[in-house]
Amino acid sequence: MNMLDQENPMIFTYHASPLGELLVVREGRDPATGRPGGLTGLYLPTGRHVSARRDEWQRDDTAFDDVRTQLDEYFAGTRRAFDLPLSATGTDFQRRAWTALVEIPYGETRSYAKQAVAIGSPTAFRAVGLANGQNPISIIVPCHRVVGANGALTGYGGGLDAKRWLLAHEANHSGLFA
């Protein structure tokens, strides 16, 4: 699906969460089936990567029931992994980095260096950090699970308070420390 297709524009909605109102964006509905396309963005209220093309999107609150359900389950502590179609746009390196993020188990963290090893580029930990910073689908593609080599919280597009909250939320519901 072409994101710039004027007959089938990107669609968006807002979703209330404990972190504030989330902006959720996905490809428009498939003309043949009427089903919405993959997610292209999930932005926290303090996010820094909301598309400049926002004025070309159309609001369609009816096309996000799957996303709403899974996000609500996540925030309730009953969902640990998401099962949603994703259509993030990025370079091959960025997509490899984002794929590795999804592999980090719920309630756990990894360093940028370990993520770089996981994608087969062990010296590219700075590039991994930059790729994570461009992740357009926060929470679902969990870049909040990546920390500095010493375990310190480092940059997060939604802000360090949101990262801290997400990590504490997952730790409280992971059963790892029960």
Q: What length does the chain have?
A: 178
Please pick, among 10, 23, 143, 146, the residue that the annotation labels catalytic. Answer: 143
Q: Which residues contact 65 (CB under 8 A, 6 or more apart)?
A: none
16: helix, strand or coil:
coil
Angle, helices 92-102 vs 125-133, to 10°: value is 80
Q: How many CA atoms lie within 13 A of 137 on its CB side?
A: 24
Amino acid (one-letter) located at 38: G
What span, in angstroms and rounded, lies between the C-alpha atoms of 118 and 103? Answer: 9
What span, in angstroms and rounded, lies between the C-alpha atoms of 74 and 31? Answer: 31
10 is known as an active-site residue:
no
Q: Which residues are catalytic, by number?
A: 143
